Amino acid sequence: MLTVATGNKAVATAVKDSKTRVVAAYPITPQTEIVEEIANTVAAGTLEAEYIPVESEHSAMAACIGASATGIRTFTATSSHGLVYMCEMLHWSAGARLPIVMANANRALAPGWNIGAEHSDSISMRDTGWLQVYVSTVQEAYDATIMAFRIAENNDVLLPVMINLDGFLLTHITQSLETVDTGDYIPPLSLPHAIDIDNPVGYGTLTPFSEHFKFRWDIERGMRDSVPVIVDAEKEFGARFGRKYDLWEKYRFDDAEVIVIAMGTLGKEMEVAVDLLREEGIKAGSLRCRWFRPFVPPDLSGREVVVIDRDYSFGYGGVLANELKAKCGCDPFSVIAGLGGQDVTFDDIAGFVRMRTPGEEHWFGVNGNV
Amino acid sequence: MMIYIQRIAMTELPKEEYILKCTSACAGCSDTLSLRYALKAAGHDTVLVVPACCTSVIQGLYPNTAFNVPVYNVAFASAAAVASGMSAAFRTMGRKTNVICWAGDGGTVDIGIQALSGAFERGADILYICYDNEAYGNTGMQRSGATPLGALTTTTPAGKPVFKKDLDGIVEAHNPPYMATACSAYPKDLFNKVKKALSIEGPKFIHILAPCPPGWRYPADQTIAVGRMAVKTGMWILYEREYGELSVSAPSKAAFRKPVPVGEYLGMQGRFRSIDNGKISLLQQAADKNMESFRKEAECTC
Amino acid sequence: MYEIRLHSRGGQGGVTAAKILAYAAFLDGNYATATPLYGAERRGAPVVSFIRIDDRPIRVYSPIRHPDLVIVLETGIMETVDVLQGIKDGGRVLINSPEPMDLGEYHVSYVDLTGIALSLDLVVSGNPILNTPLIGALSKMGLITHESGEKAISETFSDERNIKAAGRAFEEVIL
């Protein structure tokens, strides 16, 4: 069905179309429409699921863990402080190898209270073992949520997946949306370690020093094995539903001499900057990072690189820029822009490219730019 | 936005205003109305600890604030814990500064309950005030544990299927030196209770019913009328406990003698527009039972 | 790309108006986006929505700096908000008003959306519904077709008075 919807509505619709069975969630701006829409569809009977209005985000993830452990399809959504409040349970759910899917509305961290888009919330959870994808259109939010269930539940993966949407910029924008009949695109969930009364085992018991690291390696193995699963899921999605996705989305990339790299909505707006720069004679191109975890380094050899980080690791640098530097061997011009909902336009992005200096860091809007 | 309510011996109250005429509150807001009187009672030597709630927004946008006392804004779950730490620090310095948590129902009864229970169990010298509009107001009126049975919220589109959590009972179980209920429709009563609480050392708790025009869906000029009806029907009982010893406040004593049917209260609010008779009956029974239990205890006939 | 900035007060339905407009433009076969700009949000506070319409996919998310059209759902807002900020040369303005307004070089169209809503008793919680008659006025201005405007309205609201209100505004708007 072809219609228009907000990013939040698209996610909630995908949760319904994926036949999710348990949703435990706590409201937080700007995710609330997801939770409310799910409550509506459960009340109306169009989504056959248990909706648990938990009392905090920590409990939301805890309830999802409990539900998912029985082998049932589970979803939650949060943002910002909600995400970091459930931090220990994020570690837990990945370690417990549970295919929970969660939408995160990227929003700045306090103090002060700010409800603008920023990636620091999910970026600060990058070590947890959760897969992370960053989407940039309403359609992609829908598609990625459906693909997330298939990827998470694949028995070579069995890791939770986080879909990141820019707070307000994507959660609240109305764009066109085509929904699909998922059919058997998502196979039935068959969790190998689902609780089985007839085969009782202890979950997450004490592990001795000689064993624990093996479980940690196993998470990493799941992450590595997720790459072909992601690629296959996206290929199959394209074949069935006509929309093709990649780990990194290229725009005018092949003959570009300077590449702009970003995540989320800036990753779409930067394409307009690329077009502008090309008209000026600068051979620009862009690369939008969709899958941040697992991080599959792109080939940037021979190009100049400008990276926009909508996040920061204090005392170190922009996270995306530094991960690219470490894994691709490039020396990016690292721009820190868009924190706390700071407006960044395609004109600004074109400006970053024009002023690029390899290896330098540029804080957009800070006097002297540090 | 200032709201002028009917004259009730205002001359006795301190003139100093700590809430300035430039808040971001909705018209008819119980939060600012209550806070205005609470701060008059608390006075200058006061710090407010405010978790995520409507008050976070009502202060205004940086670099301005509409509140003329120090306000420490904190993460949603943490108000009582932060206050407990702050109070301990002040006392260590020999200062008697009032440390007052000013929190909504969400940050008290749901995500904040752990911190509240811990602070009270430890005997922290704080006043915890929960202004209760029975939903998550700041994020657009989703249900909270304090939402009453049958009420429409954005996450209970068919009406809340379970009862309001008995926050007062939970607090009472911690045997605090002082606890009380209040209502924004009775500001002088609230003023007196805050004043009394702050004269006592240890954990104190005041639970304010805060009718909310956008959340409860009634015209903005009806806040006082709705609050009074809550008390008249017994849906909200005004009382105090000092180390558990009960005294019922005058408006509720009057309500016990001649309670109004709860339907009168429910009918004033759009959030109850689709409540069925079964639930109305349950609410009536609960109100009756509650009033009876309070009446008996007050008369020591239990 | 045609860019529209819509100024209203919280609770007047400005955000929904933007969504309906985007939907109507989409039904016309265009690409369209609508997005609200939230500040310290509460009933009665000024609110801004951005609508973009294009025949190609829209990849811009940042606020509209140079609108082609500025819509003002309540002229009282103009006392505290510079609604014309950044408007393009030759940009148009549409105000909710029974009377014309002189805004210098900018062409001002006007229609009494409030009057239309009140006359049809199209009022919710004390607020006259302005968004659906607005759609009628915008279709007269040629932003969307009449059919798509009606379809978008009827799929959003079931009350038929909304279609009537749109029809009235279509007739009465002074361009």
CB contact under 8 A, B214 and C44: no
The count of residues in chain A is: 370
Q: For residue C18, which residues of chain A lie inside 8 Å, CB to CB? A: 174
What local confidence, expressed as pLDDT, does residue C42 receive? 60
**Helices (H), ranges, C58-156:** 113-119, 131-140, 146-156
Rounded to two decimals, the pTM is 0.93
Q: For residue C42, which residues of chain B lie inside 8 Å, CB to CB? A: 24-26, 57
What local confidence, expressed as pLDDT, does residue B5 receive? 40
Query: Which chains neighbour B (Cβ–Cβ under 8 Å, 3 or more pairs)?
Result: A, C
CB contact under 8 A, A345 and C65: yes
> Confidence class of residue B6 from pLDDT cuts 50, 70 and 90?
very low
Question: Taking residues A62-86, what's their average pLDDT?
Answer: 97
Tens of pLDDT, residue by residue over A9-56, are 999 999 999 999 999 999 999 999 999 999 999 999 999 999 999 999
Question: Taking residues A115-128, what's their average pLDDT?
Answer: 98
Distances (CA, A) of B284 to A97, A229, B151, B265, B288: 48, 57, 14, 11, 6
Give me the domain span that covers residue B135: 16-299
Q: So where are chain A's domains?
A: 2-181+204-241, 250-369
Q: Report residue B79 as tokens.
A: 């108000």
What ipTM describes this predicted complex? Answer: 0.92
What local confidence, expressed as pLDDT, does residue A177 receive? 98
Residue B37 half-sphere exposure, CB side, CA atoms within 13 Å? 26
Tens of pLDDT, residue by residue over C65-117, are 999 999 999 999 999 899 999 999 999 999 999 999 999 999 999 999 999 99
Q: Which of A72, A88, A78 is nearest to A25 (CA)?
A: A78
Tens of pLDDT, residue by residue over B121-154, are 999 999 999 999 999 998 999 999 999 999 999 9
CATH architecture, domain A2-181+204-241: 3-Layer(aba) Sandwich (3.40)
Q: Which of C4, C1, C2 is nearest to C134 (CA)?
A: C4
Residue at B103 is within a domain:
yes
CB contact under 8 A, C40 and B24: yes
A143–C contact, CB cutoff 8 A: no
SS3 B10: helix
Mean pLDDT for chain A overall: 97
Instruction: Tell me the nearest-neighbour CA distance from B70 into chain A, angstroms.
Output: 15
AA letter at A296: V
B113–A contact, CB cutoff 8 A: yes
The whole-angstrom separation of Cα B49 and Cα B80 is 8
Instruction: Tell me the nearest-neighbour CA distance from C45 into chain B, angstroms.
Output: 9
What local confidence, expressed as pLDDT, does residue C43 receive? 61
Q: For residue A28, which residues of chain B lie inside 8 Å, CB to CB? A: 139
Q: Which of A210, A214, A146, A215 is nearest to A184 (CA)?
A: A146
What local confidence, expressed as pLDDT, does residue B1 receive? 40
Residue B18, pLDDT > 80, answer: yes
The whole-angstrom separation of Cα B87 and Cα B93 is 10
The whole-angstrom separation of Cα C109 and Cα C99 is 10
> Confidence class of residue C39 from pLDDT cuts 50, 70 and 90?
low
What local confidence, expressed as pLDDT, does residue A21 receive? 96
Residue at B60 is within a domain:
yes
Mean pLDDT for chain B overall: 94
Cis peptide, bond prior to residue A341, ω within 30 of zero: no
A340–B contact, CB cutoff 8 A: no
CB contact under 8 A, B56 and A36: no
Mean pLDDT for chain C overall: 93
Q: How many domains are there within chain B?
A: 1
AA letter at C72: V
CB contact under 8 A, A346 and C60: yes
DSSP C76: G
Q: Where are the beta strands (DSSP E) in A153-205?
A: 161-166, 174-178
> Confidence class of residue C46 from pLDDT cuts 50, 70 and 90?
confident
Residue C19, pLDDT > 60, answer: yes
Instruction: Tell me the nearest-neighbour CA distance from A28 into chain B, angstroms.
Output: 6
The whole-angstrom separation of Cα A320 and Cα A305 is 12
The whole-angstrom separation of Cα C62 and Cα A338 is 10
User: Which residue from C40, C43, C44 is facing B57, i.e. has the nearest CB?
Assistant: C40
Residue B7, pLDDT > 70, answer: no
SS3 B44: coil
Q: Which of A81, A23, A71 is nearest to A47 (CA)?
A: A23
| C-beta separation of C64 from C50 below 8 A | yes
CATH architecture, domain A250-369: 3-Layer(aba) Sandwich (3.40)
| C-beta separation of B100 from B42 below 8 A | yes
User: Which residue from B57, B111, B157 is facing A40, i.e. has the nearest CB?
Assistant: B157
Residue with structure tokens 């990339």? A253
Residues sharing a CB contact under 8 Å with residue A117, sequence separation 6 or more, in sequence order: A106, A107, A108, A166, A167, A168, A169, A170, A264, A265, A310, A338, A341
C86–A contact, CB cutoff 8 A: no
Backbone angles phi, psi at A251, to 5 degrees: -140, 120
> Confidence class of residue B2 from pLDDT cuts 50, 70 and 90?
very low
Give me the domain span that covers residue C104: 2-172
Q: How many domains are there within chain C?
A: 1
What local confidence, expressed as pLDDT, does residue B8 receive? 44
The whole-angstrom separation of Cα A237 and Cα C26 is 24
Q: For residue C33, which residues of chain A lie inside 8 Å, CB to CB? A: 173-175
| C-beta separation of B219 from B226 below 8 A | no
Tens of pLDDT, residue by residue over B65-89, are 999 999 999 999 999 999 999 999 9
CB contact under 8 A, A269 and C38: no
AA letter at A185: Y
The whole-angstrom separation of Cα A193 and Cα A97 is 9
In this structure, the number of other CB atoms found within 10 A of the CB of residue B270 comes to: 15
| C-beta separation of B60 from B66 below 8 A | yes
Domain containing residue C17: CATH number = 3.40.920.10
